[in-house]
Amino acid sequence: MTDQSTVPLRLGTRRSKLAMAQSGLVARAVERITGRPVELVALTTHGDVSREHLASIGGTGVFVTELRDAMLAGEVDFAVHSLKDLPTQQPADLALAAVPVREDPRDALIARDGLTFEQLPDGARVGTGSPRRASQLNAWARSLGKRIETVPIRGNVDTRIGFVRDGELDAVVLAAAGLNRLGRGAEITDLLATDAVLPAPGQGALAVECPASRADLVAALAELDDPHTRAAVTAERTLLAELEAGCSAPVGALADLHADADDPATVTELRLRGVVGTTDGATLVQLSTTGPVPASHDDAVALGRELARELLAKGAAGLMGEREL
């Protein structure tokens, strides 16, 4: 009989440098928890091979479907995703076993000559593949009395930064979390304040998923779960789901945890902010709501639904381009 403690757990991951780095972090943590070796199984997803912009190919699920299929086929035991890539509807046959502690959720600018966003010249060309980023960056530029040209780009981190190094673009915007996980945080010229640019729902967080039928594995992976991070991203993703928007829609959301003023170690409140806008930045609807730290999944869901409904009441549906009023 095979000694299961020596049988490697197979971790499904995308092939990109960032995905491999993220999965490697989780693999080492799972090895410590289970005492079993973990081997990475690199898979190619539709989002990796398509050259279309994410808004054109739908966005939702394009980076996760093949990983999920591999789990259900028994080809891998579990998978690691960037949480912002997950569709908001969780399949019944797969368990979101863990959401580890979140990295920096902010967007980051990498610009020529070490420029910050406010220092970019009028007419600067800024690369991003995200309608959400384009919307808020254009709105921010308008508030500064200038304009920028947001240029749609695809590709891995090296490719995107290369557009700046080669002089084709003045700047690109990427997730700070990915740059940090790749050890490239020093290349950031400006961390974009969330007061100006809200991140994608779930940005900076990882999702560890496995078949729901593997109760032993679900329990083991659950040791990686951070309850505060899970509560925050649950509220953010519920807002996205309630808006009936995909992950390529111009929707930003961030849930912040607030500590007790007299006891900084005690988290007491969760503030959820959301924004929906036109991609040219001409119109933004931005609102926030605050509630007690969710005691349950349902509490986090209720907070997300509340803010989504307030955004819809302010006209958010007409700004997304993905649904009719």
280-298 residue pLDDT tens: 999 999 999 998 887 788 9
pLDDT of the residue at 261: 72
The catalytically annotated residue of 77, 85, 104, 190 is 85
Block residue for tokens 């998923």: 209
Mean per-residue pLDDT, 221-233:
96
The catalytically annotated residue of 68, 102, 106, 133 is 133
pLDDT of the residue at 323: 39
CATH topology assigned to domain 107-191 = D-Maltodextrin-Binding Protein; domain 2 (3.40.190)
CA 130 to CA 140: how far, in whole Å? 15
The ranges of the chain annotated as CATH 3.30.160.40 are 230-313
CATH code: domain 4-100+205-225 is 3.40.190.10
**160 classed as catalytic:** yes
Structure tokens at 162: 């290369």
- Cross-sheet strand order for the sheet of 284-292: 251-260, 263-277, 284-292
Report residue 324's pLDDT band, with 50, 70 and 90 as the boundaries.
Answer: very low
Instruction: Report whether pLDDT(6) > 50.
Output: yes
The catalytically annotated residue of 132, 181, 230, 273 is 132
Instruction: Report whether pLDDT(8) > 90.
Output: yes
CA-nearest of 78, 87, 99, 163 to 125 is 163
Answer left, alpha or beta for residue 315, where phi above 0 means left and psi between -120 and 50 means alpha. left
CA 132 to CA 130: how far, in whole Å? 5
pLDDT of the residue at 46: 57
Query: What CA–CA distances, in Å, run from 107 to 104, 112, 121?
Result: 9, 17, 20
∠ CA 85-87-92, nearest 5°, is 130
107-124 residue pLDDT tens: 999 999 999 999 999 999
The catalytically annotated residue of 14, 84, 184, 273 is 84
CB-CB contact of 262 with 223 (8 Å):
no
Question: CB neighbours of 119 closer than 8 A, spacing ≥ 6?
Answer: 111
49-105 residue pLDDT tens: 545 544 444 455 677 999 999 999 999 999 999 999 999 999 999 999 999 999 999
**85 classed as catalytic:** yes
Instruction: Report whether pLDDT(214) > 50.
Output: yes
CA 189 to CA 167: how far, in whole Å? 16
The catalytically annotated residue of 170, 181, 237, 247 is 247
Structure tokens at 6: 């020596």
Mean per-residue pLDDT, 307-311:
96
The catalytically annotated residue of 154, 214, 271, 305 is 154
CA-nearest of 84, 104, 67, 107 to 233 is 84
Report residue 317's pLDDT band, with 50, 70 and 90 as the boundaries.
Answer: confident
**230 classed as catalytic:** no
**147 classed as catalytic:** no
Report residue 322's pLDDT band, with 50, 70 and 90 as the boundaries.
Answer: very low
CATH superfamily of 230-313: Porphobilinogen deaminase, C-terminal domain (3.30.160.40)
pLDDT of the residue at 258: 81
**262 classed as catalytic:** no
Instruction: Report whether pLDDT(47) > 80.
Output: no
The ranges of the chain annotated as CATH 3.40.190.10 are 4-100+205-225, 107-191
Of residues 317 and 54, the one with the higher pLDDT is: 317
The catalytically annotated residue of 14, 68, 160, 230 is 160
**132 classed as catalytic:** yes
DSSP H or E stretch at residue 65: helix 65-72
